[in-house]
Amino acid sequence: MNDMILMIVFVVILLLITLAIGAPVSGSMGFTAIVCMAMFVGMKFVPSFATTAYGQVVSANQLIAPLFIMMAEFLTRGNIAQDIYYVINKWLKKLKGGLAISTTIACTIFAALCGSSPATAAAIGKVSIDEMTKRRYRKSFAIGTVAGGGTLGIMIPPSLTFVQFGILTETSIVKLLMAGLLPGIMLAVLMCVSVVIRVRFNPALIGEEKYASRGGMFALDDEQRATVPNEMDQRKTSIGYDLKLALPAVALIVIVIGCMYMGIATPTEAAGIGVFGAIIILLLMKRMNGKVFLNTMVATTSTSSMMLFMMITGLCLSQVITRLGIASDLAAMIISSGVNRWVVMLILYILWFVLGMLMSPGSMVVLTIPFVFPTLVALGFDPLWIGVVSTLCVEIGMITPPVGLNLFVLKNTTKAEMGSIIKGSLPYVAVLLLGLAILNFFPQIALVIPNSM
């Protein structure tokens, strides 16, 4: 047991040292895996990493993430996020705080086309924050709404984080994607409810300092408070035009998710359908050109290569942990100690919060899951539920000061003061924590859809 503890300490310290000197997460994990394999197992086993790398390169599962990334890139560069936001806002602008609710719903829909939290925040933030500030919304409130809604990008399918989790743990990727659907919708509803409650008790958030005493849900709507004409007001207002803008994206979401749920297509095939659908949408809307196509290909290649290399090094480190028996010994030690499994879960929640502030969701999954997943399964937690709550913890970390990644994405997008961004994001940290508590008390929210497949 002492040897096992020493090996864990050595692995963790080596990882931390390589990360501290500025090495990328993938490089840190690869270097740690090679050193630990050579020291504790033997140099003759180091070449086995080449077999691991080759197996991932030729694996069909490794096509899922690049294809979903390509779909998201096409739709982002085709301004589909902007269209979704404008259409939703037109129908909700009469509601007090309607722009903020529209932003949350737009983030939810675009999350189902994107699979990335920073990308969702950036795409929706570019159009929604300016629109809210024009309508006299408090800037911190506007930015916080995008920060909270942006986190849904890694919960609602096609979540790239779930794809990585499934590959690392050999859990069904399609069931993981389906497991995130209801929790993602639940979180979106909680965010919308929080907006309604906050603007009801603090109308100053939406620029109604002078009208707070008048009350009423429709006391002063966003359209009445507009002082300058803008692009949203100048757009066509027919239902047919709205359907032309929003229906193709919604139809693509239904087709991609529906094909996976009904078993018509594997995740890889569904991702391919998504790419084909995105191209067709842009062609029909006359938004496809050489520049869009080339930039999409370059961005997809860059992001996918980074993710593949990180997955390979993560699996190599997982291979070392398995050969050394660290995961199984750690599980046995925790179980034999009699520690309540929820105490273990609470410690991991805190760890994931912190790591979520410091690194991308994929990096967090690859770095921690090989260590903790066998222990959590041995303690009786469902693998699909583990995937959902670990992802939600990273969501919380991404908007938690001082170093939440989405906070910096929004700073680059809005050029706002970090203090204002943090102030606006903190209420959504509370909303996400409430969602985490609900999932702990009612785990079936995450399991009902995959179990029905």
Would you list the DSSP string of 48-73?
HHHHHHHHHHT-GGGGHHHHHHHHHH
- The mean pLDDT of the chain is 85
Q: What was the pLDDT predicted at 218? A: 41
In three-state secondary structure terms, 380 is: coil
DSSP H helical ranges for 338-379: 341-358, 361-378
Q: Inform me whether the pLDDT recorded for 1 exceeds 70.
A: no
**Nearest CA-CA partner of 366 in 46, 32, 45, 112:** 32
Residue 279 lies in a domain: yes
Whether 231 has a pLDDT exceeding 60, the answer reads no
Segment 158-168 mean pLDDT: 89
Task: Say if 213 falls within a structural domain.
Answer: yes
pLDDT > 90: percent of the chain: 34
What was the pLDDT predicted at 272? 94
Torsion of CA 395, 396, 401, 402, to 10 degrees: -60
| 419: in domain | no
d(CA 405, CA 413): 13
For residue 174, being part of any structural domain is answered with: yes
Does 401 reside within a domain?
A: no
C-beta separation of 430 from 401 below 8 A: no
Alpha carbon 100 to its chain centroid, in Å, reads 20
Q: How many CB atoms sit inside 10 A of residue 76's CB?
A: 25
Question: How large a percentage of the chain has pLDDT more than 70?
Answer: 92
H/E run at residue 245: helix 239-262
- Asked which of 238-247, 291-300, 439-448 is least confident by mean pLDDT, the reply is 238-247
User: If you average pLDDT over residues 196-225, what whole number do you get?
Assistant: 63
| 239-263 as b/e: b if 16+ CB within 10 A | eeebeebbebbeebbebbbebbbee
For the chain, give the number of residues: 453
Summarize pLDDT for 50-59 with one digit per residue, the tens. Answer: 888 888 888 8
Q: Structure tokens of 2? A: 């002492």
| Residue 2: per-residue pLDDT | 65
Q: How confident is the model at residue 216 (pLDDT cuts 50, 70, 90)?
A: very low
What mean pLDDT comes out for the span 182-195?
Answer: 95
Which of 97-106, 113-122, 431-440 has the lowest average pLDDT? 113-122
Residue 120 domain flag: yes
Q: Please give the pLDDT value at position 236.
A: 52
Q: Which two tokens stand for residue 130?
A: 């300016």
Gap between the terminal Cα atoms of the chain: 42
pLDDT surpasses 80 at 317: yes
CA distances from 72 to 79, 80, 279 (A): 11, 10, 11
Contact 191, 156 (CB under 8 A): no
CA torsion through residues 396, 397, 401, 404, sign? negative
CA dist 178 to 6, 22, 374, Å? 39, 36, 22
What residues have CB less than 8 Å from 297, skipping those under 6 apart?
A: 70
Domain containing residue 233? 61-301
Question: CA-based angle 360:361:365, to the nearest 5?
Answer: 120
In this prediction, residue 214 carries a pLDDT of 43
Determine which of 28-42, 75-89, 172-186, 356-370 has the lowest per-residue pLDDT on average.
356-370
Per-residue pLDDT, averaged over 217-241, amounts to 50
**Residue 229: per-residue pLDDT:** 39
Per-residue confidence band for 224, with pLDDT thresholds at 50, 70 and 90? very low
Task: Answer whether residue 381 is part of any domain.
Answer: no
* Global confidence as pTM: 0.83
The two tokens of residue 86 are 């404008």
Residue 210 has pLDDT above 70, yes or no: no
Q: How many other C-beta atoms can be found within 10 angstroms of the C-beta atom of residue 47?
A: 9
pLDDT at residue 304 greater than cutoff 70? yes
If pLDDT is split at 50, 70 and 90, which confidence band does 222 have? Answer: very low
**For residue 217, what pLDDT is reported?**
40
- Nearest one of 187, 207, 119 to 428, comparing CA atoms: 187
Please give the average per-residue pLDDT across 36-54, as a whole number: 86
Instruction: State the total domains in the chain.
Output: 1
Asked whether 319 and 363 are in contact (CB, 8 A), the reply is: no
Asked which of 34-43, 113-122, 356-365, 441-450 is least confident by mean pLDDT, the reply is 356-365
**In this structure, is residue 319 part of a structural domain?**
no
Distance in angstroms (rounded) separating the CA atoms of residues 320 and 216: 62
Question: What does the block give as tokens for 300?
Answer: 């997809």
